[in-house]
Amino acid sequence: MDFNQTQQRIRWGIFITLAGLAVLLTILDNTGNLDSVLALVRDPFGTVLSWTSARADGVNNLLSAPRDIEAAQLEIEQLQGRIDALERENEELRELQGEYQILLELFNRARETPTYRRVTAAVIGQDSNPGVRSIIIDKGSADGVRVGMPVESARGLVGQVFRTTPNSAQVVLVTENSSAVPSRLGSSRATGILRGSGVGNTMTIDWIDLRFQVEIGETVLTSGLGGRFPQDLVIGRVVDMNRSEAELFQQAIVQSAVDFEALEIVFVIVDFEPVDTSIFSTSPGG
């Protein structure tokens, strides 16, 4: 064998090996894997240990996944419990806000008419008698409540006390067909007797003279005539008119200002100064 040829082959082998190594290092550097290879060269045992540790962590995480799911489920249940508690607190706050608003409206109503003496009462039930629309309140004769006394809410006239016990009273609603309230229209100043229809929250004022130009939306108030109701209690608004030139009178359809289904607190007017009409009951020569 020629010694010179052998050396030349060795040199070419080394050259090709170094060139291949340079190309490999370039590829590793471009792909971001050069640091891992160098780490393996510097510390082969540590690199292998790190690789196996990562794989072991992956297996451990896989094995502990059910426990993590249970912990997550428990945390979800705890959070749901807190959400439910917060929702209950919000509902209680909304209830308190509603009660505060009712009391504020009642206070403002009492301040507008300081000459009336009132007893505040809570609505504790609806009368089950289908023939009479009425409510039950928690104040009675022991509190100064008497039959015939007017009852109002912050929004308007509710009705009249019909029956009492020492600690409760029955109030017939103004919308009941047996109800009759002397009333006056706010703008046209027409007067008449307002009667309930017994159905819904509507009432009528009959026998209004045609000379009054009654408008839809007019406020209807108590006139105070007859002495059973104080004057200027809000009853409702005119929502429709039955008018015919062939008739001598017209009729107003009135919608109550009170939502009777949502009543919680009312005023019983136990003392007021009635309109004095006694002068009209005497003859001019008497």
88-109 pLDDT tens trace = 777 777 766 666 665 666 566 6
Q: 136 with 168: CB under 8 angstroms?
A: yes
Q: Which two tokens stand for residue 194?
A: 């307002």
Q: 203 with 182: CB under 8 angstroms?
A: no
Report the CATH superfamily, name and number, of domain 180-259: Rod shape-determining protein MreC, domain 2 (2.40.10.350)
Q: Which DSSP state fits 57?
A: H
Is residue 170 predicted with pLDDT exceeding 80? yes
Report the CATH superfamily, name and number, of domain 117-173: Rod shape-determining protein MreC, domain 1 (2.40.10.340)
Mean pLDDT score of the chain: 78
Q: Give domain limits for the chain.
A: 117-173, 180-259
Which of the four pLDDT bands, split at 50, 70 and 90, describes residue 3?
low
Please enumerate in sequence order all residues whose Cβ is within 8 A of that of 66, keeping only pairs 6 or more positions apart, or say none: none
How far apart CA 111 and CA 128 sit, in angstroms, is 34
Q: Where are the beta strands (DSSP E) in 67-167?
A: 117-126, 134-137, 150-152, 157-165
Which of the four pLDDT bands, split at 50, 70 and 90, describes residue 269?
very high
> Do the domains 180-259 and 117-173 match in fold?
yes
Query: Which amino acid appears at position 102 of this protein?
Result: I
The DSSP line for 150-179 is EEE-SSSEEEEEEEEETTEEEEEETTSTT-
> pLDDT digit string (tens) for 19-45?
666 666 566 556 665 565 555 455 554
pLDDT value, residue 249: 86
Q: Which two tokens stand for residue 22?
A: 């340079």
Which of the four pLDDT bands, split at 50, 70 and 90, describes residue 286?
very low
pLDDT value, residue 262: 87
Q: 263 with 121: CB under 8 angstroms?
A: no
Query: Which amino acid appears at position 20 of this protein?
Result: G
How far apart CA 193 and CA 243 sit, in angstroms, is 17
Confirm whether pTM is higher than 0.75.
no
How far apart CA 266 and CA 227 sit, in angstroms, is 21
Task: Identify the residue with better confidence: 57 or 271.
Answer: 271
pLDDT value, residue 127: 77
189: left (phi over 0), alpha (psi -120 to 50) or beta: left
125 strand-pairing partners: 136
pLDDT value, residue 216: 94
Which of the four pLDDT bands, split at 50, 70 and 90, describes residue 110?
low
How far apart CA 285 and CA 140 sit, in angstroms, is 45
